[in-house]
Structure 1
Amino acid sequence: MAWRAGTVIRVLAAATSAAVLAACGGGDGHGGEPAAAPGGARAECAAVAAPGDSRSRELRGMWIATVAGIDWPKSPSKERQQAGFRKLLDTAQAMNLNAVFVQIRPNSDAFYPSPHEPWSQWITGKQGKDPGYDVLGFMLKEAHARNLEFHAWFNPYRVSRQSDLGKLAPGSPARKHPDWVRKYGTGLWYDPGLPQVRDLATKAVMDVVGKYDIDAVHFDDYFYPYPEGAADYPDKATYKAHGRGMDKADWRRQNVDTLVRTLSEQIHRAKPWMRFGISPFGVWRNKTTDPKGSATKALESYDAQYADTLKWIKQGWIDYVTPQLYWAVGDARADYATLVDWWSRQVAGTRVQLSIGQAAYRVGEDATWKKPAELGRHLDLNRRHPAVRGDVYFSAADLASNRRGFAQRLRDDHYPRPAIPPVVQGRGGQAPAPARGLRAGPAAGGAKGVQVQWRPAGDATAYGVYRVDGKAPACAAVDPARLVAAVRGGGIVDPSARPGRTYTYYVTALDRLHHESAPGRGATVTAPRG
């Protein structure tokens, strides 16, 4: 990385109880299992309050755009691709982020072996060419190894950034069904008014949902394409065949609604815990057009892209919404402060989580965005709105570049510690059993710091590791501000433990929807002096 990453926790693989005892010194006063209770059952710590939905619980993510290799991949070489992706994930980890939003279907193509669409041209340079490995499988494994949520990002209607069907792979659905395709602007798009198009998009998404252990399905702001001058989208014939006398704009919105509702139903039927989220353009409607709109003067996604995000929120079709608020505080067209307040009010009383899309790409663009603290001002404003549960940055390459030191500043001022994402409501799940067999001792193999290990539980996806200064009670509540790591596996090495200092560690268990157990018994250790 081009900027100071700070101390990075090293994650240990899951270990057996015997290995835990051996690595951390056995029963030498470092904590561990409670004593046996009468009858042979193990006594447990009394249930205590876990962090729950405190303000320390937030989503921190970044988009990894693959179309045209915006963020990745930058080379057709498998080895360079994999090294480049790992480097982006290392950036996320160093920033104390906890999620990545990776574009896996940018143009009716795939970053995985698909029965419906060809391999993406952005992997090898040629659409349909097999890269020789399962790209999505690799990305997912690497993200989860770092305990980064993987939100699989699909573009439902875009076919190509150029307008020649003949340049697409012979196996492309657009080549096989040119009647589904419309030329608009400089590119090709599927017609959202056709049931066959909605069926294709649904099949593409559900193929991934069924085959891969992704955490969420994600759409961005591309539904009907952004307007190109005064030219209307060329769907006159489709409207005549399927419009049934509806107002054309209402019909277009209904087409998008149908896809969103259908996908929501099918995703949650297949995997009830899986989330479905959308990142719309930041302005739904202006107040001058609709009393329910925001006090802004910008393009309206309801009318320009036929995206009725408010309906999706009120109907509960989506689990989270991440509006792209890519304006500065005080912008005359669309003030960030005005919009974050407006979106906060739209999710009030619903189970839809709100996170904010942040414009990392704009840093350095003009007088306002040349200030490296602009995005920090956004996060400060967010704190005034409890409905805001996190932020997602566009995009990964911008965070990695750290222009004008903005990314380092975000980490130092807002993300000095890791965070666990908020609990997902309404999708089932429950807190797992507490972590057991906790041991803490000097790091093995000559490494610096303290090694903390525990026995992984079968029903836990991840673990929160908390550190308290000094010797603390074996059974105690945890303070969210004391979180030092959120990891998968059976242990960590904490290199930030200062030599000669005494600490007590506690570990909680989390399910994939971030329900958190009470901590198990703590382990006290004095960090080695060298």
Structure 2
Amino acid sequence: MAVALTAGAAAGALAACGIPDLGTGGREDGGPVPPGAKAECPKIAEPGDSKARQLRGMWIATVGNTDFPKAAADKQKKAYTRLLDTAKAMNMNAVFVQIRPNSDAFYDSPYEPWSQWITGTQGKDPGYDVLAFMLKEAHARNLEFHAWFNPYRVSRQDDVKKLPAKSPARQHPDWVRKYGKGLWYDPGLPQVRDLATKAVMDVVTKYDIDAVHFDDYFYPYPEDGDFPDGATFKTYGKGMKKADWRRKNVDTLVQSLSGRIHTAKPWVQFGISPFGVWRNKSSDPAGSRTSALQSYDDIYADTRTWIKKGWLDYVTPQLYWPIGDPRADYAELASWWAGQVKGTGVQLTIGQAGYRVGEDPTWKKPAELSRHLTLNARYPQIRGDVFFSASDIASDRRGFASRIRKDHYARPAIQPVVARRGGKAPPPVQDTTATPATADAAGGKGVKGVKGVKVTWRPSQGATSYGVYRVDGEHPGCAPADPARLIGDVRGGGIVDPAAKPGHAYTYYITALDRLHHESRPARGATVTAPEG
């Protein structure tokens, strides 16, 4: 894995990660040029959205301190950055970070109190902007940041009076319903939709996030009795059936938020990770051959409509069952979801159950999740996977994460193009150079002691990151950006390649990418011989 020179300490932990031998080859399409010369490759086509492109991510859950500790600020920061380093070591390229778990905030919100999952006390200022820190560190590692919001959940306990004075639920108890062991906003109230919209748009406008993300919590999962929204239904139902009215309430929020987000910042994606079963075929001919809880009927989330209407940029169904499960077979659901997005332009990624590894005889097999990714390759509509959760990836229980890296994530991947949001490839980079890097030359905080090859280039206007491709041997002309030769997708103007073998000659090609992953054609390569040890 290449080390980004500009990532500083954020990249230091990556230097020990080796880059696989990418072999020899590379088609020349022009003569050699001196290192540092301004040179483009006009005869080489832009790479396009190849099948090798994947989103590879993990959820970082903060509710209940699942993946984020209640601790002093310095310990929290170290714990979070360790998870990011784990993601990079796994050759992942995105994190999905929960920043509004319980009508609260991981930033200084004008609408809601500070989250209890930071300090242990809701409303207590942690002394730093947690979201700004999280975002900066993710981007330093070129990890796409999906800001994860829960739109309706208020509290895991059911006493409104225990909430801080700033809580909208405390100020407007008439918006709140007790259900199960917790508190929920009533999705049928326009004021609730307005609050959720304000919370999301506050983050979209103030922070440089890459996406807004919702998970599967809309109306609460069924417990004893029906959700107590009878009075709201009487006021706003307008002759509809209650189930249809509830779905309409959720549809309204999803549709309106999609429009608001993309009007404010067209490049910010909007995605949802629903429960893995929309409807069973026994209930609807359009459903899947399953016999499980149905998100359409039980939590009033009509994901299929959201896809068909184009309100989402991506959908990440939580397929938390093994292959062959009699109630909900992973293979059946992967095929069903691929069929739903086909031809829509909505990107499909799959939510994978890292947390289940070791649970029962099936999940004790460390290869089960690797088998899921192998099966995914049958469907061109499936463009990647997101794992729940980060702590499970870090713990590598029974070696499942190591198996995934070995079988599927051995080299980095650029994310698929977000085609529905416009954008275009930046101009190609110029002034590519490749020079031997000793420990001193590599230098700088975070890459101290790294040896190998130092590659630099002049940043391209409009580029967010840069694809770095390595070919064995001297090929100083032009070559296509072959995904099999990608060694990094980094921010800034240079990298150190610590895996370059001493005494071997290599040629490096650089491409420029915008934040929606449109990729320029590569610049002419720069050739160098890696220094002897």
Amino acid in the other structure paired with 2:179? Y
What TM-score results when the alignment is normalised by the length of structure 1? 0.93
* Partner residue, 1:389: 383
Deviations 1:417-461 (A, max 9, x none): 010000001211100011111111111145311111111123100
Aligned in 2, Cα 1:330/1:257: closer, same or farther, shift over 3 Å?
same
Q: Is the 8 A contact 2:106 2:131 kept in 1?
A: yes
- Give, in angstroms, the shift of residue 52 of structure 1: 1.9
- Give, in angstroms, the shift of residue 47 of structure 1: 4.0
Q: Is the 8 A contact 2:7 2:141 kept in 1?
A: no
In the TM superposition, 1:312-461 aligns within 5 A as: 312-443=306-437, 444=441, 445=443, 447-461=450-464
Q: Is the 8 A contact 2:40 2:522 kept in 1?
A: no
Deviations 1:267-297 (A, max 9, x none): 0000111100000000000000000000000
- For residue 86 of structure 1, give the secondary structure of its aligned residue in structure 2: helix
Give the Cα separation in 2 of the matches to 1:381 and 1:134.
41
Q: Is the 8 A contact 1:46 1:475 kept in 2?
A: no
Amino acid in the other structure paired with 2:470? R
Give the Cα separation in 2 of the matches to 1:411 and 1:44.
34
- Give, in angstroms, the shift of residue 61 of structure 1: 0.3
In the TM superposition, 1:64-463 aligns within 5 A as: 64-72=60-68, 74-229=69-224, 231-443=225-437, 444=441, 445=443, 447-463=450-466
Q: Is the 8 A contact 1:319 1:352 kept in 2?
A: yes
**Residue 31 (str. 1) matches residue 35 (str. 2):** yes
Give the Cα separation in 1 of the matches to 2:531 and 2:507.
14
Deviations 1:337-357 (A, max 9, x none): 000000000001101000000
Give the Cα separation in 2 of the matches to 1:79 and 1:188.
32
Q: Is the 8 A contact 2:7 2:140 kept in 1?
A: no
- Give, in angstroms, the shift of residue 519 of structure 1: 0.3
Give the Cα separation in 2 of the matches to 1:423 and 1:156.
27
Give the Cα separation in 1 of the matches to 2:269 and 2:399.
33
- Give, in angstroms, the shift of residue 223 of structure 1: 0.1
Deviations 1:39-75 (A, max 9, x none): xxxx632141343221210000000000010011x13
Give the Cα separation in 1 of the matches to 2:384 and 2:34.
36
Aligned in 2, Cα 1:122/1:502: closer, same or farther, shift over 3 Å?
same
Deviations 1:69-109 (A, max 9, x none): 0011x132000000001000000000000000000000000
- Give, in angstroms, the shift of residue 14 of structure 1: 8.9
- Give, in angstroms, the shift of residue 110 of structure 1: 0.1
Q: Is the 8 A contact 2:427 2:461 kept in 1?
A: no
Q: Is the 8 A contact 1:460 1:511 kept in 2?
A: yes
**Residue 478 (str. 1) matches residue 478 (str. 2):** no
Aligned in 2, Cα 1:365/1:14: closer, same or farther, shift over 3 Å?
closer
Give the Cα separation in 2 of the matches to 1:174 and 1:132.
24
Give the Cα separation in 2 of the matches to 1:200 and 1:209.
14
Structure 1 unmatched ranges of 5 or more: 1-7, 16-27, 35-42
Deviations 1:151-183 (A, max 9, x none): 000000000011011111111000000000000
* Partner residue, 1:4: none
- For residue 469 of structure 2, give the secondary structure of its aligned residue in structure 1: strand
Q: Is the 8 A contact 1:32 1:522 kept in 2?
A: no
Amino acid in the other structure paired with 1:57? R
**Residue 523 (str. 1) matches residue 516 (str. 2):** no
- For residue 343 of structure 1, give the secondary structure of its aligned residue in structure 2: helix
Q: Is the 8 A contact 2:273 2:351 kept in 1?
A: yes
Amino acid in the other structure paired with 2:414? I
* Partner residue, 2:491: 488
- Give, in angstroms, the shift of residue 241 of structure 1: 0.5
Deviations 1:128-169 (A, max 9, x none): 000000000000000000000000000000000110111111
* Partner residue, 1:499: 502
Give the Cα separation in 1 of the matches to 2:83 and 2:213.
19
Q: Is the 8 A contact 1:101 1:153 kept in 2?
A: yes
Q: Is the 8 A contact 2:40 2:430 kept in 1?
A: no
Percent of aligned pairs with the same residue? 72
- For residue 476 of structure 1, give the secondary structure of its aligned residue in structure 2: coil
- For residue 440 of structure 1, give the secondary structure of its aligned residue in structure 2: strand
* Partner residue, 1:24: none
Give the Cα separation in 1 of the matches to 2:193 and 2:63.
21
- For residue 426 of structure 1, give the secondary structure of its aligned residue in structure 2: helix
* Partner residue, 2:13: none
Amino acid in the other structure paired with 2:362? T
Pick one of 447, 467, 470 that aligns with 1:464: 467
Give the Cα separation in 2 of the matches to 1:30 and 1:305.
63
Q: Is the 8 A contact 1:30 1:524 kept in 2?
A: no
Q: Is the 8 A contact 1:49 1:478 kept in 2?
A: no
* Partner residue, 1:11: 4
- For residue 13 of structure 1, give the secondary structure of its aligned residue in structure 2: helix
Q: Is the 8 A contact 1:116 1:204 kept in 2?
A: yes
Amino acid in the other structure paired with 1:69? N
* Partner residue, 2:23: none
Pick one of 52, 55, 62 that aligns with 2:51: 55
- Give, in angstroms, the shift of residue 32 of structure 1: 2.6
Give the Cα separation in 2 of the matches to 1:242 and 1:411.
51
What TM-score results when the alignment is normalised by the length of structure 2? 0.93
Aligned length: 501
Give the Cα separation in 2 of the matches to 1:349 and 1:511.
24
* Partner residue, 2:28: none
Aligned in 2, Cα 1:514/1:292: closer, same or farther, shift over 3 Å?
same
* Partner residue, 1:20: none
Give the Cα separation in 2 of the matches to 1:193 and 1:108.
17
